[in-house]
Structure 1
Amino acid sequence: MTPLMESVLCQKMILPISFYMQKVTNYHYAKQNKIRKMADPHRLHREARYYKEEVDRLASEREQYPTGMRPSEVAKQLGLSVQSVYKYIKDGTIKAVEVPFGDERTNYVISEEAFLEVKDLFQSLESERIRKNEYYDSNYDIALFQYFQSQDSRVARVMKDEELNWGFYLPYYQKWVEFNEGIEKYGLEPCYEIHKDALDYKGYVYIEIPKGEDILYPFIDFLYESWGIENVGIREQEQGVYISMKAGEISLQHSISFNLDQLIPFIKEGTVEIAEGLFIVRSAYRKTNLELPINMLDEAKQLAEKKNLTMSQWVEQVIQQALQMGES
């Protein structure tokens, strides 16, 4: 049998592995004897070719794995090192599913929902994430602007000095004191707990309140006491305070110490409302499911990757453009 005849007869038996999987994995699967490379002594094919039934079996196994982004892709999207992404996976900041990779190794897959959640944490509206150590000190278990009071009714709020040391500002004395002095000399005690269980991810609401507004401190007190530091981010700016707040709802056990109408003008993205005894925070985004042909999804994913976007971001852009064209 001539090499050409052999090639023709084998067309239904073999497929290029790139038909199913990325080329970078070819060598690993062949080396692990998960797929066998078809002999091609006369080099009639530009790509290595493998037996179809073995490729089908391997592809079927891979389809059962969770879908999503690799740590390297997440690192690129967030502007982090790959090592940092693995660190955040290990400490639980980034939610990932462990999947087998090779005979003895494992890798991680980050779902689109998990990516969007961590993207909100790491990239706020100002393109810079609010870090937890900006508004919370784990050594003292205190939060920025948290309300303290002594038994003789001295009041104070947690603040940092110019060197970013944690302490208290005492309005009555109009001075800042370090943490230990505030506790030992002035007998300051927290007026509420600042920890709550983490809410399920449903997006974020972003708020920016200028300093000096009457609502600022009452709203922050409400946030810490009702939402908890696990579900908020607070950044002090020169002229105001920037707040990220996890979407969700809680039952109001008592009246709130601020007027909701005062808050509305400062909401940058999302909505906040009170209805039927519930304090409801909704993100400007809502998760939805679309059923589309596989080839269309593949093509859309490629177009999104070319623009360095997630699928959700790319779809949002396309829909926005279509809506604008419809209005014109």
Structure 2
Amino acid sequence: MEDRNDYYTTKEVAALLNKAVPTIYKYVREGKLTPLPDHKWRMQSTRLFPKDQVEELKEKQGKKFGLTTSEAADYLGITRSTLFRFIKEEKIPSVKGTLRGREVSYINEEDLQRYVKENFDYLEQERIKKRTFYDKKQNIAFYQRFSSPEIEEARLIWDEKGEWQFLLLPSRKVVSYNEGIYKYDLCPYYSLTYGKNLTSPGFAKVTLPLNHPLTMQFIDLVYQQCDLSNVYIDLNEAFPHEMSEMSLLLKNTIFDNTNETISQYVKMHLVEGSIQINSESMRIESDEVIFTLHMSKMLKDQIKRSAEEQRISMQEIANQILMEHFDLLKRREN
């Protein structure tokens, strides 16, 4: 008989792997575990398993086979529910593994990179819906201005763990959110409204340097005069100390009570869209417009199928068709 130190009983294996005893029976049927040959005649509950085999299986179960669903969702900039839908629809492959004794899904980073490359435009739309710059529960947003009798200006930022902090100006001292609220008595300089989505298509895009006073002034205009449902802020890096700029996507908006300095500053950093400036207001608009087409149901169904196959919107398919048409006309003219 083998030395007692060389084997585990069925119950010991279950405890070591953090599994129920029936799961160990299942592992035997699947070939993941094999009882000691001289003891296969025993009842299942008293079978013995080689220690090295059991410990090897435990090590495999503890290994990470890729990114977790939370990590993958953060990687793509989407919600976990959207990621689970992609997995269910088999758009992104996943494998099962064990993490801290429970079964979880893992996703290979190469599969995520491939999905990003093939579905960039779609992911951009999903990221816009997520609005990571805004904490809806607390109704606060990145770079929102706070103040108190002692502190004239403080800006909300977050730390490496994603926890809210205050950047006190002009000293640039950073304090925790609770310290800012309870020690310095900081209060919002203005309130935020989420509002309803505008039906106008597309966004204008403005990319501004961080830590610039005019960037902060424009953020204040955005937060005071826009519903956040029509705003998206893309923070290029995870942490404030690593970021150099921020990109704002805005639905068609008229900003009132703007001065010439702010207006020209925004115009200089406009990446997409158009801007019109007068003495006291600034109008920012997307380059996209609504164009209504009447077509047969058969043609609409063809466009819909093509959009589903390419994983893009019907609008993008229509734009592709029109662009190809005019490119062909241009080549014929040349």
TM-score normalised according to structure 1 size: 0.55
Between stretches 277-286 and 232-241, larger displacement belongs to 277-286
Counterpart contact for 1:207–1:267, Cα < 8 Å: yes
- Do 1:149 and 1:155's aligned partners in 2 also have CA atoms closer than 8 Å? yes
Output the amino acid matched with 1:202: S
- Residue aligning to 1:290: 293
CA distance in 2, matches of 1:79, 1:196: 22
- State the match for 1:205 in structure 2: 204
**Which of the residues 176, 179, 199 maps onto 2:177?**
179
User: Structure 1 residue 219: deviation in Å?
Assistant: 0.9
C-alpha distance 281-199 of structure 1, shift in aligned 2 (>3 A) = farther
Name the structure 2 match of 1:240: 245
SS at match of 1:187: coil
| 2:223 match: secondary structure | helix
Q: What percentage of aligned pairs have identical amino acids?
A: 21
Match of 1:317 in 2: 320
Indicate conservation of the 8 Å contact 1:161/1:176, yes or no: no
Partner of 1:225: 224
Which of 264, 267, 280 matches 2:267? 264
State the distance in 2 between where 1:310 and 1:186 align. Answer: 48
Map of 2:330 onto structure 1: 327
More helix by share: 2
Shift of 1:273: 2.5
Equivalent residues of 1:196, 1:226 under 8 A apart: no
When normalised by structure 2's length, the TM-score is 0.54
Q: Distance between the aligned counterparts of 1:245 and 1:82, measured in 2?
A: 28
Check conservation: 1:215, 1:262, Cα contact below 8 A.
yes
Q: What amino acid does structure 1 have at the position aligned with 2:230?
A: N
Indicate the residue corresponding to 1:152 in structure 2: 150
Give the CA deviation at 1:139. Answer: 4.5
Aligned-partner SS, 2:155: strand
Alignment partner, residue 194 of structure 1: 192
Q: What are the superposed Cα offsets for residues 147-171 of structure 1, whole Å, 9 maximum, x if unpaired? A: 1121135321111122221121113
Asked whether the 8 Å contact 2:259–2:280 carries over to 1, the reply is: no
1:272-310 residue CA offsets vs partner (Å, 9 max, x unmatched): 334596543322221221123444434444444443443
Query: In the superposition, relative to structure 1, how do residues 275 and 120 fare at CA in structure 2: closer, same or farther (>3 Å)?
Result: farther
What is the one-letter code of the residue matched to 2:226? W
Following the alignment from structure 1 to structure 2, what is the Cα–Cα distance between the partners of residues 236 and 294?
42
Query: CA offset at residue 313 of structure 1?
Result: 1.2
- Structure 1: gaps spanning 5 or more residues: 1-74, 86-118
Aligned residues: 215
**C-alpha RMSD of matched pairs (Å):** 3.5
